[in-house]
Amino acid sequence: MAMVKRFGAVVGAAIVVAAIAVVAQDTGGVRSHPNPCPPGQTEVRVGRCQAPEFPPPSIVDYRPKSTLVTGVHPVPKAKFPVVDIHSHTGPTPNSVERLLKEMDALNIRVLNNLSGGNGDSLKQRVEYIRTAKLTDRFTVFANGLSGFNGVEPGYGAKAAAQLEQDVKSGAIGLKLFKQTGMRTLKKDGKRLQIDDPELDPVWEAAARLNIPVIIHTAEPQEFFEQPTVTNERWLELALFRDRRNYDPGQVKFETLMTERNNLYQKHPKTRFIAAHFAWHANDLAKAGKLLDACPNVVLEVGAILYDLGRQPRAAHDFFVKYQDRVLFGKDSYEPDEFPFYWRVFETKDEYFDYYRDYHAFWKLYGMDLPDGVLKKLYHQNALRVTPGLPKTGWPQ
């Protein structure tokens, strides 16, 4: 019995060594981690797998508490006034008092509502902001004509006219939701590609009207992959059906990136804000390439903090190098969550929790950005890219 076991271990070790040799070629000698053991076991020594003696908790229930004792510097209020360029929240008579109080506590000066709608609904939103004398705190982007559904010949010109009217009504930018380019269908039943020439008049109108266009293209890369045990977004995919984009026949991540980049390059006079860091926060070299190739593009940091906070040194260097190309945005308005952003950007704290377990199975670290970069990230870049934002009252 012992002989058989040892023989098995030797064969196992040989396989592992072969696997390591291959990996070493790919990663410059750094052994990548994939645990070579069968399910239910973990590698305790090279080539030796072992099962825990207690039934393991599921990943939903395993919540190890760190014993690390290190500096803790919470940042409840951002160091400089902030424009949240990627919000979906605007004031109503019922919410405005609470919103202003929360925004003041966080140092958010402007909340930019990307869900402005179009036509009359947009007009009403702007009207309320104007009558309540809140134009220096709340702004809205328009959403185009009919959500870009059913595009057919002639649609682009109509959508451009709608945008022109919405800007006259007070919209300061155009936002396209993630369905556009990914799932939205044209009248002929085909998927609408974001670089479809029928939409050209819209981008040209945005340039002429001097407003930015923010497009949410695609989803995190891992949402396009099967939810296997090596998928770092497994839990999120298992929780939310509408984030699964891996079925055969669904459009691929790379296809969406290519179509989006075509659009950016085809319209150099239109300013584009790539929502969610263009989904390249996990590959900053790729993000840098995009910015180098497209001077008309800036990145926004909504919902990708977990990627910046797990590579604080690379992220710091990126933000210093591209300090004119990054905008603050949060996406979901949750007052309790903003301070996680301030802490990552402003401190050099180490190994602290992110606010959502299912987003990230790892800890965050502070990027320790210099004041000049923070000011650009928090408001100066947004003011340059979005001329409709309040112009006065900013620190010099």
DSSP one-letter code for 146: G
Candidates 124-132, 153-161, 278-286, 325-333 — which segment interacts with Zn ion by CB under 5 A? 325-333
Q: Which is nearer to Zn ion, 198 or 331 (CB)?
A: 331
Q: Which is nearer to Zn ion, 88 or 244 (CB)?
A: 88
Note whether 219 binds Zn ion by CB under 5 A.
no
Note whether 331 binds Zn ion by CB under 5 A.
yes
Distance in Å, CB of 58 to Zn ion, minimum:
30
Distance in Å, CB of 214 to Zn ion, minimum:
9
**Torsion angles phi and psi, residue 91, rounded to 5:** -80, 145
Q: State the number of binding residues for Zn ion (CB under 5 A).
A: 1
Closest-CA residue to 219 (of 272, 260, 270, 265): 260
312 neighbors 363 (Cβ within 8 angstroms): no
Distance in Å, CB of 24 to Zn ion, minimum:
41
Q: Which is nearer to Zn ion, 195 or 331 (CB)?
A: 331
For 185, residues 6+ apart whose C-beta sits below 8 A from its C-beta are 149, 150, 191, 192
Q: Which two tokens stand for residue 14?
A: 């040989």
Residue with the shortest CB distance to Zn ion: 331
Candidates 118-126, 141-149, 324-332, 357-365 — which segment interacts with Zn ion by CB under 5 A? 324-332
Distance in Å, CB of 175 to Zn ion, minimum:
8
Query: How many whole angstroms separate alpha carbon 55 and alpha carbon 60?
Result: 14
312 neighbors 346 (Cβ within 8 angstroms): no
Q: Which is nearer to Zn ion, 307 or 349 (CB)?
A: 307
Q: Which is nearer to Zn ion, 276 or 316 (CB)?
A: 276
Distance in Å, CB of 275 to Zn ion, minimum:
6
Q: Which is nearer to Zn ion, 236 or 331 (CB)?
A: 331
Distance in Å, CB of 262 to Zn ion, minimum:
23
Candidates 203-211, 286-294, 323-331, 377-385 — which segment interacts with Zn ion by CB under 5 A? 323-331
Query: How many whole angstroms separate alpha carbon 388 and alpha carbon 172?
Result: 5
Q: How many CB atoms lie within 10 A of CB 251?
A: 16
261 neighbors 254 (Cβ within 8 angstroms): no
Q: Which is nearer to Zn ion, 259 or 331 (CB)?
A: 331
Candidates 9-17, 134-142, 217-225, 328-336 — which segment interacts with Zn ion by CB under 5 A? 328-336
Distance in Å, CB of 116 to Zn ion, minimum:
12
Q: Which is nearer to Zn ion, 160 or 172 (CB)?
A: 172
One-character DSSP codes across 165-233:
HHHHTT---EEE-TTTTTT-B-TTSSB--TT-GGGHHHHHHHHHHT--EEE--S--GGGGS---TT-TT
Distance in Å, CB of 69 to Zn ion, minimum:
37
Q: Which two tokens stand for residue 218?
A: 């695609």
Q: Which is nearer to Zn ion, 42 or 332 (CB)?
A: 332
Distance in Å, CB of 55 to Zn ion, minimum:
40
Distance in Å, CB of 101 to Zn ion, minimum:
23
Q: How far from 312 is each of 80, 184, 344, CA to CA, in Å?
A: 20, 36, 8
Query: How many whole angstroms separate alpha carbon 225 and alpha carbon 285?
Result: 21
Q: H helices then E strands: how many in the chain?
A: 13, 10
Q: Helices in the chain by DSSP H: which ranges? A: 2-27, 96-106, 119-131, 155-168, 200-209, 234-239, 253-266, 284-293, 305-308, 312-321, 338-346, 371-375, 381-385
Q: Which is nearer to Zn ion, 215 or 377 (CB)?
A: 215
Candidates 70-78, 195-203, 331-339, 362-370 — which segment interacts with Zn ion by CB under 5 A? 331-339
Note whether 196 binds Zn ion by CB under 5 A.
no
Query: How many whole angstroms separate alpha carbon 286 and alpha carbon 278?
Result: 10
Candidates 105-113, 130-138, 326-334, 342-350 — which segment interacts with Zn ion by CB under 5 A? 326-334
Query: Site residues (CB under 5 A) for Zn ion?
Result: 331
